[in-house]
Amino acid sequence: MSKIKWLSNVKLETGEKLLENGTVETETAIFHLKIENGKIVEQLDVKEPIPAGQEVINMKQKLALPTFKEMHNHLDKTYMTLDWKACTPVANLKERLTFEAAELTLLSDTTQQRATKMIETLLENGSTHIRTHVNIDPYIGLKNLEGVIAALDNFKGKVTADIIAFPQHGLLRESVPTLMREAMRSGATMVGGLDPAGIDNAIEKSLYEIMDIANEFNADVDIHLHDGGFVGYYTTDKWIDIVKDAKYQGRSALSHSFCLGDIPVAQQKLVASRLAEEDVAIMSTIPINLGRVIPPIDLLDDHGVKVHFGCDGFYDSWSPYGTGDVLEKASRFCELTRKIDEKSLRNSLKWVTGGIVPLNADGHKVWPNIQDEASFVFFEAASSAEVIARKPSDRLVMIHGELV
Ligand SMILES: [Zn+2]
């Protein structure tokens, strides 16, 4: 039997208006949406009556936006639900890894509990898709993977996920290549990698190993790349070659990619065109660090490169900060790059929704459509620009027509 309900008084963005002073204002209107089996099947103007005798949820003129996608997280690392712990200062990445290794066994008993709290937090903030990296290392093997899968299983139907087998302590060492393959057979859905130069000390060998595993399991790829400057640039360029040869267009991403911010603009443009051509996405967590630049996201976007934001692992051995609100990342990016007008704020929503936006760049309504999934985040706001700039904390999350 099909389940029908109505969402009454939903505010949707419908277009934009050019004001006399040259600024743009987002236009909205109120609608009633008919939901059947979790999908939008009809849209009525607010003045039209809802047929009697059907379930109605009054959305009280709240603005409906697409749900968020959290595209870079480490569900297995968080300290959430444990006692407060600040981070131990270290001199470099190697030292951080040594420290993490010592703590991994200790933490692995509570992975499901900690990951569950993280998922709840992300979901409350509006993320209904989570891309998580999960440590696959010689210290705990697949233990964190098991905990993360168990946690995600309890959110089936609400949260979708990419689970990345992540060789945090190096891919080209001891049993790790075997463990990675075991992880892919045990529920991991994507292949990860980490600093082919800085950690593996063998750029090509590391990248080819990643692609070999990906090919073996027909899985997509997301590689952590902190290697900076020209080393990082070379790694990126090499990965694009490998993607091209393997016909892996649209199936891989590079996370962080600080190196793209280190190189001259002419080279940024060159690599951006190549990333776009082979459809390699860039994931950024918009870290605030006065000593390090982030990738040139606007330039990448202008070249057609897909960019997605994530919260990263947070409140863990790497950082005591973070909230689990990916919207905060869009807001922060806009503030860092001085996006202050309606249109540029509005256009930034795509980086936290997997590209889904109510209005396209020309200001025409493109979402939601009939037959779209009835999944929304509702805000008390005038437009998505206000949401990006003000990050209203009061939100309602709806998945397939059901409020969370
Ligand atoms: Zn990460």
* pLDDT higher than threshold 70 for residue 1: no
Q: What is the pLDDT of residue 292?
A: 83
Distance CA 12, CA 31 (A): 7
Pairing assessment for the beta strands 376-379 and 395-399 based on DSSP bridges? antiparallel
List the structure tokens of 58: 């009054």
Q: What is the CA(385)–ligand 1 centre distance, in A? A: 28
> What distance in angstroms lies between residue 133's CA and the mean position of ligand 1's atoms?
7
Give 51's DSSP letter: P
Could you report the per-residue pLDDT of 298-308, keeping only the tens digit for each? 999 999 999 99
∠ CA 334-339-342, rounded to 5°: 110
Ligand 1 midpoint to CA 225 (Å):
9
Report the separation in Å between the CA atom of 59 and the middle of ligand 1, taken as the mean of its atom positions: 37
Calpha distance 170→176 (Å, rounded): 8
For ligand 1, the distance from its centroid to the CA atom of residue 227, given in whole angstroms, is 13
Quick one: tokens of 263? Answer: 């190189």
CB 195 within 8 A of CB 155: no
> What does the pLDDT look like over 341-389, one tens digit per residue?
999 999 999 999 999 999 999 999 999 999 999 999 999 999 999 999 9
pTM beyond 0.85: yes
3-state helix vs strand vs coil in the chain, percent to 5 = 35, 25, 40
Q: How far is the CA of 110 from the centre of ligand 1 (A)?
A: 20
**So what's the pLDDT on residue 313?**
87
Rounded to the nearest whole angstrom, what is the distance from the C-alpha of residue 31 to the centroid of ligand 1? 40
Whole-number Å distance, alpha carbon 168 to ligand 1 midpoint, is 9
Q: How far is the CA of 321 from the centre of ligand 1 (A)?
A: 14
Domains (range + CATH), the chain: 4-67+356-403 (2.30.40.10), 68-321 (3.20.20.140)
End-to-end CA distance of the chain: 22
Q: How far is the CA of 194 from the centre of ligand 1 (A)?
A: 9
Task: Please give the distance, rounded to the nearest whole angstrom, from the Cα atom of residue 176 to the centre of ligand 1.
Answer: 18
Which pLDDT tens digit goes with each residue over 254-293? 999 999 999 999 999 999 999 999 999 999 999 998 888 9
Q: Model confidence over 75-115: pLDDT tens digits?
A: 999 999 999 999 999 998 889 999 999 999 999 999 999 99
d(CA 289, CA 284): 13
The CA 224 to ligand 1 mean position distance, Å, reads 6
* Ramachandran quadrant class, 167 (left: phi over 0; alpha: psi -120 to 50; beta: rest): beta
pLDDT tens-digit profile of 213-259? 999 999 999 999 999 999 999 999 999 999 999 999 999 999 999 99
